[in-house]
Amino acid sequence: MSIRIPETGFLRLPQILAIIPISKSSWWEGCRTGRFPKPVKLGPRTTVWRAEDITEFVQTLGAIPQTDKDS
């Protein structure tokens, strides 16, 4: 199943974790350290990420060469 990321707008954490299958705590740690895109606070209990930032991040993940463990 292919998940479509909108060109503009915001994504909530469950939408991101459907695209990038890691745990919530790993995602938040990556945001804290700068490995993952920076969140945007819309309110005291509402955090989102820019769709453009997530698209760019996913594209950089695709550019990372995979190591061959069989060789």
- Residue 65 is predicted with a pLDDT of 63
Tokens representing residue 37 in the block: 């895109």
The per-residue pLDDT for 61 is 86
User: Which tokens sit at 30?
Assistant: 């990556």
**This prediction's pTM:** 0.82
pLDDT score of 64: 64
pLDDT in tens, the chain (71 residues): 567 888 999 999 999 999 999 999 999 999 999 999 999 999 999 999 999 999 999 999 887 665 555 54
| Positive or negative: CA dihedral 10, 55, 22, 36 | negative
